[in-house]
Amino acid sequence: MWIKSIAFTEFKGRKKEWVLEPSEYGQINLIVGVNAAGKSRSLAIINSLALMFLNQRKIIHSNFQMVFSDDKKILKYEYDSKEKIINEKLTIDAIVKFKRNKLGEGYIKAIEHGGSIKFKIKDDESVINGKRDSIQHPFLENLIDWGMGLRFFQFGTDLSRQNLLIKSAQLDEALEKKNSMVTIETCYLGLKNPAYKELIIQDMKAIGYDIEDIGIGFPENVQFETNVPIEKAAVQAIYVKESDLKDKTTQFEMSSGMYRSLSIIIALNYYILTKLPSCILIDDIGEGLDYNRAKSLINLVIKRIKDTSVQLIMTTNDRFVMNSVPLEYWMIINRVGNKCYVINYKNSKKVFDEFEYLGLNNFDFFSSKLFLGDNKNE
């Protein structure tokens, strides 16, 4: 299930009001824009919505509409809240599956009932969580599964580099129930498939990191500040064996660029092999990488994602990254006051097609504001 479109308003009617006008998404998306245009904020919103579906975050002072699509149906989720939830509604293929009001009262389709039943939940509780029942209301699982399959990579952070894996008898069971696994947890599960290791090695080589092995093991060169004896077999970190080095390189010894690239490749191959429907968000892709590796990573990710169940949404304001990604995947975010709107091939086909005849590079399309068409003065 992929995001088809999002419209979002925060602090509606207040001085702090911020609006993301309806924006359409495809399977592969690159959000570009100047600083403070709303690129990172757009990804943060998507991540927050996933956390809300998983009952890990409450979203207040917001109004949004999300449309999801798969090969069989269209889901539209609507939500409006201030201090409490005012309205909430889910429609699937034009059929209302549930609707509630500010008192927490509403109705929801129930399988065994064969129709709709009334309910009352807390006025600050989402129906997705308050009425979750995979037997009676299986359609709620669509949104929860989407939230479980979302991964958010912020290239300006350490991407969970300091996290270790603590092995236990219950580890596998615990990870199966966990959403948003950190990199080492994903790697641990992925390595259970014999094909996974070779895919990681091939992809790392494709972007210029010549490794011949990847695994997890005790990080011998790490000092632990504890008086408790450490069981080496239980404490694990990611390592790679580079072809031109004699010893292994742990996640703590890798360059930032290498670890960032490895984190993306670990998650990407895990989702592809497991065929899990998922959404990967990458904020400021290319940050910390040289031009060639940034270009290679982006081309690799786009190539590997095609014809899979994975949706990719990236952001950048780097000219080299922009020149590496075809315009058909661009979403140019333009902010006018407190309102942000997106220009892409779907809503501005003529402008995009006319630019193709100019023979300029992609960055020129952005820097010259040609994407605005007849509204270049905005």
212: which 2 tokens?
């011949």
Considering the domain boundaries, does residue 35 fall inside one?
no
Considering the domain boundaries, does residue 214 fall inside one?
yes
Number of domains in the chain: 1
pLDDT at 179: 64
Q: What does DSSP assign to residue 370?
A: G
Cα–Cα separations (whole angstroms), residue 17 to 48, 89, 124, 342: 18, 23, 21, 18
In 10 A of CB 343, how many CB atoms? 21
* CA–CA distance, 281 with 47 (Å, rounded to integer): 8
Which residues have a Cβ under 8 Å from the Cβ of 84 and sit 6 or more positions away?
102, 123, 124
Considering the domain boundaries, does residue 242 fall inside one?
yes
pLDDT at 230: 67
Tallying the residues shown for the chain, one arrives at 378
pLDDT at 169: 81
CB–CB of 100/35 below 8 Å?
Answer: no
CB–CB of 175/181 below 8 Å?
Answer: yes
Considering the domain boundaries, does residue 338 fall inside one?
no
Considering the domain boundaries, does residue 236 fall inside one?
yes
Per-residue pLDDT of the chain (378 residues; tens, 9 = 90+): 899 999 999 998 899 999 999 999 999 999 998 888 889 999 999 999 999 999 888 888 899 999 999 878 999 999 999 889 999 999 999 999 999 999 999 999 999 888 999 999 999 999 999 999 999 999 999 999 999 889 898 887 888 888 888 888 888 888 876 666 789 999 999 999 989 999 999 999 999 999 999 999 988 777 666 666 667 778 889 999 999 999 999 999 999 999 999 999 999 999 899 887 789 999 998 888 888 888 899 999 999 998 888 999 999 988 888 988 999 999 999 999 999 999 999 888 898 888 877 778 888 888 888 788 655 545
Considering the domain boundaries, does residue 201 fall inside one?
yes
pLDDT at 160: 84
Considering the domain boundaries, does residue 326 fall inside one?
no
Of the candidates 237, 235, 255, the one whose C-alpha atom is nearest the C-alpha of residue 245 is 255
* CA–CA distance, 371 with 348 (Å, rounded to integer): 8
CB–CB of 105/113 below 8 Å?
Answer: no
Q: Which residue blocks in 149-290 are alpha helix, DSSP H?
A: 171-176, 183-190, 194-206, 256-274
Of the candidates 366, 373, 255, 267, the one whose C-alpha atom is nearest the C-alpha of residue 320 is 366
* CA–CA distance, 50 with 69 (Å, rounded to integer): 16
Residue 263 sits in which domain range? Answer: 161-275
Considering the domain boundaries, does residue 190 fall inside one?
yes
The alpha carbon dihedral of 112, 114, 116, 118 has a sign of: negative
pLDDT at 377: 46
